[in-house]
A = this chain, B = another copy of it.
Amino acid sequence: MAYTAPLKDMLFNIRHLARIEQIAQLPGFEDAGLETAQAVLEESARFNQDVVAPLNEAGDRNPSSWKDGVVTTTPGFKQAFEQFAAGGWQGLQHPADFGGQGLPKTIGAACGEMLNSANLSFALCPLLTDGAIEALLTAGSDALKATYLEKLVSGAWTGTMNLTEPQAGSDLALVRTRAEPLPDGRYKLFGTKIFITYGEHDMADNIVHLVLARVQGAPEGVKGISLFVAPKFLVNADGSLGARNDVRCVSIEHKLGIKASPTAVLQFGDAGEGAIGELVGEENRGLEYMFIMMNAARYAVGVQGIAVAESAYQKAAAFAKDRVQSRPVDGSVAASAAIIHHPDVRRILMTMRALTEGCRAMASVAAAAYDAAHHHPDAQVRKDNQAFYEFMVPLVKGYSTEMSLEVTSLGVQVHGGMGFIEETGAAQFYRDARILPIYEGTTAIQANDLVGRKTARDGGKGAKAIAAQVEATEAELAASGSADAQAVARRLAAARAAFVQVVDFIAGASRSDPNAVYAGSVPYLLLAGNLVAGWQLARGLLAAEQNRAEDPAFMQAKIATARFYAEHILTRAPGQRDAIVDGAASVTALPLEAF
């Protein structure tokens, strides 16, 4: 089935929730108003629908393969990536200084969603490259920037993130890859990195590995980790490619999903000579820099969740309109009818749609905060937006990816038995999505961040500031007076109250009873994500009521979807509060030996 980009919904968010016209007031974004957004999104839709999406099922059936250290991607991927680079898509959000287009994240995130809806496996290569670019922009020397950035921004070369080792997954303190200083200031790297996405492939001339390693003699733990650049091919002074570096892909993984994206085991120093690497920034500050890449990547992985949910929804809705089976219970059709006439199928499709639109709205607003945090002339506004964005990152990553599991599973269910047959394609979304709550920090890691750095550290102040904004929306809904707005306001208020109670619980007990607080960390993240997504849909409802005349059918759909979300998804929040606040002790009541 063809993918059709949800441009109307994206532009609705960009205009009414992210408020692009305010972003276009910021220095550097003068040309990035609604018209630009629309033009860029339309072009992105065409490219992804026509070039990238047709390769999605082929990539699943005919994944990347490894032979003697060489990885061959699915036929068509290399050509599509050349078109991607030629179209300037890699540089969308990156600075014009290095050949990028310097567009706001508010626009870039929507384009990222389309790329990922079209093909999650393909999209991972640019996603990781974006992370490498961010790290070099932030911490790289001028020489490193000059060597690498233009090539990465143009899509001539691609980037990777080398964190994980067999014994070091979530726990980077356990990283053992070692860096030996050379007399010329460079280093030799030795070690094994696993789960390296696009760690080896045939789509670009060079691969720029960003690698966490320990310099000899560095402190134990995370304080002794440094960040290095180690390209597949060394780069000569004139920018041409030199010798093959001593980093080899010794195998790729056999995975549940995203099969077209090669997941490499990389051996640094396999030939004994060591892979030549250059230090990024200062020694022992690697983790700090890596978090820059990770934070960009975490937001982007959240968008992947939205993207795969959208694809699953589109396929399920198309099937439900086409598949004829059984008479409707209300007697509205006398014979067997398309299954979309059945209330339960409608409930499933509405759940898929509401979750997807809710997370999209949340991500769009988070992107706008990022743009303001980086471009607003007023320092306090920048600071406030940064705080808001940082609170949103674990929600965009954690909630959107967890919801993508629910949505892609429901997508299989709509298809009945056909959903279990691989040729149908619904199962691929179910398999592909399963990595999203795991990589770039599991949902538990996101939740630790949300609980520790984002909630407990300031005694819940930032979290309550968001709750106050939700409350303001409730007041606007009450003032609107429509039955839809009233119904949404009621559920939003209950969810917000639940959220505040959990915030108080966390702020009160994070030191005295950390086990109790962290026992509820993931449910807290899900509650918070649920609230924020429902809140943004509620803001959308208000905007749709105010702009109804522009496009009555679309605006009515936004209103109906917001109400469905409030009544069917926000209603989960009070139960989550009960489990977190009253049920903490039972999480750890069973002794270890009883498992």
Give A residues with C-beta under 8 Å from B.
164, 167, 169-171, 173-174, 194-195, 253-257, 317, 320-321, 324-326, 329-330, 336, 340-347, 349-350, 353, 405, 409, 412-413, 416-417, 419-423, 427, 430-431, 434-435, 437-439, 442-444, 447-448, 487, 514-516, 518-523, 553, 556-557, 560-561, 563-564, 567-568, 571-576, 578-579, 582-583, 586-595
Contact = CB atoms under 8 A, between A and B. Distances in A.
Contact of A164 (B417, B431, B521): B417
Contacts of A563: 586, 589
A69 to B, nearest CB: 20
A571 B579 contact: yes
Given A195-B417, A336-B171, A350 B587 contact: yes
A438 B340 CA distance: 17
A519 B412 contact: no
A327 to B, nearest CB: 8
A420 B438 contact: yes
Nearest to A336: B171
Q: Find the residue from A170, A417, A523 having the highest chain B CB count within 10 A.
A: A417
Contacts of A353: 595
Contacts of A320: 595
Contacts of A344: 444, 447, 518-519, 521-522
A561 B587 CA distance: 9
B583 A564 contact: yes
Given A255-B422, A321-B592, A595-B317, A409 B434 contact: yes
Number of copies of this chain that the complex holds: 2
A324 to B, nearest CB: 8
Contact of A567 (B257, B423, B586): B586
The 9 closest A-B pairs by CB, nearest first: A567-B583, A343-B519, A256-B427, A344-B444, A343-B518, A171-B326, A564-B586, A329-B514, A560-B589
Contacts of A591: 553
Contacts of A586: 350, 487, 560, 563-564, 567-568
A318 B39 CA distance: 53
A422 B254 CA distance: 6
Given A329-B515, A515-B330, A590-B557, A174 B438 contact: no
A590 B563 CA distance: 10
Contacts of A521: 343-344
A321 to B, nearest CB: 7
Contacts of A579: 567-568, 571
A274 to B, nearest CB: 26
A514 B330 contact: yes
A341 B590 CA distance: 12
Q: Find the residue from A174, A346, A347 having the highest chain B CB count within 10 A.
A: A347
A442 B416 contact: yes
Given A164-B417, A255-B420, A574-B574, A434 B444 contact: no
Contacts of A346: 519, 587-588, 590
A222 B439 CA distance: 50
Interface of A, secondary structure class, is helix
25 contacts: A167-B324, A169-B417, A170-B326, A173-B336, A255-B421, A256-B422, A256-B427, A321-B595, A329-B515, A342-B518, A343-B516, A344-B444, A344-B519, A353-B595, A417-B438, A420-B435, A431-B431, A487-B586, A560-B594, A564-B586, A564-B589, A567-B578, A571-B576, A571-B578, A574-B575
Contacts of A556: 594
Contact of A575 (B173, B571, B594): B571
Nearest to A439: B417
A516 B347 CA distance: 11
Contact of A347 (B194, B431, B519, B592): B519
A423 to B, nearest CB: 7
Contacts of A430: 256, 434
A438 B419 contact: yes
Contacts of A518: 329, 342-344
A582 B413 CA distance: 25
Contacts of A412: 256, 434, 438
A419 B427 CA distance: 17
Nearest to A344: B444
A505 to B, nearest CB: 14
Nearest to A412: B434
Contacts of A578: 567, 571
A10 to B, nearest CB: 17
Given A514-B330, A521-B344, A169 B325 contact: yes
A595 B319 CA distance: 11
Contact of A572 (B431, B522, B572): B572
Given A568-B579, A571-B576, 9 more contacts: A169-B416, A329-B515, A343-B518, A343-B519, A344-B522, A345-B444, A560-B594, A564-B587, A571-B575
A592 to B, nearest CB: 6
Contact of A594 (B195, B419, B553): B553
Contact of A587 (B321, B343, B444, B595): B343
Nearest to A337: B171
A256 B170 contact: no
A299 to B, nearest CB: 20
A499 to B, nearest CB: 14
